[in-house]
């Protein structure tokens, strides 16, 4: 037992999930820090851990305050393949920053690795695994609490990542950046989940590339695949903070607005409350976000699931569920907005004349359904397009 007044040992990730707790992940780092001037779009590498540690620390702090239980090391694309001689100090600094902030609250530190640039250029399995191994050595030395292999579009590479991470003996989560159509080798989400669990992942799911609805539809397919194989794992979702109903197989990177014109697609906090509730209903207990997912979106997850978790996050002091803070507004018509029904049924407006609701992805990977839909776009009104889209929407989407 911890001495009186001493620090209580934190429950580990699997202990939390096993006891039925909801674990709230964090949100966007690259996209958010790019907007703040600390990350270069294109390569999307996290040198900011060394160059501007105060910016990374501040963002971790905002997620902690918003209710995150996991401080993921800012180590996306931070393998030797991308960062060359800088890889080590960037990973070490990322671990120290995540730990420093995690110690200020009820959060764990997760060491994160992601897809390599080697896989697509036909790098060998040993070469790719060596790249992961180097990052893992830093995570082990810095004693992170668990590990996440994320943003894999090829199941094979994700399996290699899990195999390496398992070697540490720490719990491993694995998320792929795929939609309902599966990975880039045409493996279904269900099959991907099965392979990741067989490789040793205790938590599986998706992150990035697709918005809340599609991400949940994909996790549902993973869940069904696991059930059909008689395998058990915890489910995880870290969706984009953008709506992407018109994406093809490759996700938001193929949209013409990627990455600098995505603002009209940003999810509201109310959209994210819905996402959190639907994820919970689906049985997902690790719920967070990826690109475009800001601290206030994480707070929305924590507020939606406050009845289940039994508490609100610190950042809710300045919010109040469902806009209740507006009670204090001087204008009566604004005061009238301090209620759930108002925000839940509000029709949104972009404020941009002739702003279409959908666009056509630039790249290959457009789904058959979406392609047909887009061909008809010229001849149809927005309303008809919407109806067509609704009809063709992923059948597996969460009700
Ligand atoms: Zn992302």
Alpha helix (H) residue ranges in 305-364: 306-309, 332-335, 340-344
Cα–Cα dist 100/98, whole Å: 6
In angstroms, what CA-CA distances link 1 with 9, 10, 22?
9, 12, 25
For residues 144 and 102, is the Cβ–Cβ distance under 8 A? Answer: no
pLDDT at 88 over 80: yes
Q: Is 25 exposed, middle or buried (0-12, 13-18, 19+ CB in 10 A)?
A: buried
Q: Say what angle helices 87-102 and 53-66 make with each other, to 10 degrees.
A: 40
- Torsion from C-alpha of 132, 135, 136, 138, nearest 10 degrees: 170
Domain parsing of the chain, residue ranges: 13-325, 369-398
208 is in an annotated binding site: yes
Which among 58, 63, 73 has a CA at the least distance from the CA of 298? 63
Domain 13-325 has CATH 3.20.20.330: yes
Span from the CA of 241 to the centroid of ligand 1 (angstroms): 9
Handedness of CA 342, 346, 352, 358 (dihedral sign): positive
**Bridge partners of 109?**
71
The pLDDT of 83-110, averaged and rounded, is 97
pLDDT tens-digit readout, 137-176: 999 999 999 999 999 999 999 999 999 999 999 999 999 9
pLDDT band at 216 (very low <50, low <70, confident <90, very high): very high
pLDDT tens-digit readout, 116-142: 999 989 999 999 999 999 999 999 999
Widest distance between CA atoms in the chain:
72
Span from the CA of 320 to the centroid of ligand 1 (angstroms): 28
Span from the CA of 281 to the centroid of ligand 1 (angstroms): 23
Other Cβ atoms less than 10 A from the Cβ of 346: the count is 11
């Amino acid at each position: 037992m911890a001495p009186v007044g001493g620090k209580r040992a934190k429950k580990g990730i699997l202990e939390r999930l096993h006891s039925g707790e909801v674990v709230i992940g964090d949100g966007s780092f690259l996209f958010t820090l790019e907007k703040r001037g600390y990350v270069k779009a294109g390569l999307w590498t996290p040198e900011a851990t060394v160059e501007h540690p105060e910016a990374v620390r501040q963002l971790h702090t905002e997620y902690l305050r918003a209710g995150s239980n996991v401080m993921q090391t800012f180590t996306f694309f931070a393998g030797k393949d991308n960062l060359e001689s800088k890889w080590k100090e960037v990973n070490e600094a990322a671990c120290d920053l995540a730990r420093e902030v995690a110690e200020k609250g009820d959060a764990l530190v997760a060491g994160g690795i992601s897809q390599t640039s080697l896989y697509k250029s036909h790098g060998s399995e040993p070469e790719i695994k060596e790249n992961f191994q180097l990052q893992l050595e830093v995570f082990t030395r810095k004693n992170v609490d668990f590990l996440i292999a994320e943003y894999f579009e090829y199941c094979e590479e994700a399996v290699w990542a899990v195999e390496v991470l398992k070697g540490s003996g720490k719990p491993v989560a694995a998320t792929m950046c795929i939609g309902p159509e599966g990975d880039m080798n045409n493996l279904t989400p269900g099959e991907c989940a099965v392979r990741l669990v067989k490789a040793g992942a205790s938590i599986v799911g998706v992150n990035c590339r697709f918005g809340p609805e599609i991400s949940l539809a994909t996790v549902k397919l993973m869940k069904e695949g696991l059930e059909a194989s008689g395998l058990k794992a915890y489910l995880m979702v870290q969706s984009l903070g953008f709506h992407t109903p018109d994406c093809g197989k490759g996700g938001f990177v193929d949209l013409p607005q990627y990455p600098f014109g995505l603002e009209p697609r940003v999810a509201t906090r109310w959209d994210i409350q819905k996402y959190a509730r639907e994820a919970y209903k689906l049985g997902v207990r690790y719920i967070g976000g990826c690109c475009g997912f800001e601290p206030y979106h994480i707070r929305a997850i924590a507020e939606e699931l406050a009845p289940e978790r039994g508490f609100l996050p610190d950042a809710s002091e300045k919010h109040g569920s469902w806009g209740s803070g507006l009670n204090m507004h001087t204008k009566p018509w604004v005061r009238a907005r301090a209620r759930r029904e108002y925000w839940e049924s509000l029709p949104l407006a972009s404020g941009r004349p002739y702003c279409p609701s959908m666009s056509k992805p630039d790249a290959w990977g457009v789904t058959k359904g979406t392609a047909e839909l887009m061909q008809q776009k010229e001849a149809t009104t927005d309303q008809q397009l919407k109806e067509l889209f609704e009809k063709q929407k992923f059948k597996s989407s969460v009700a």
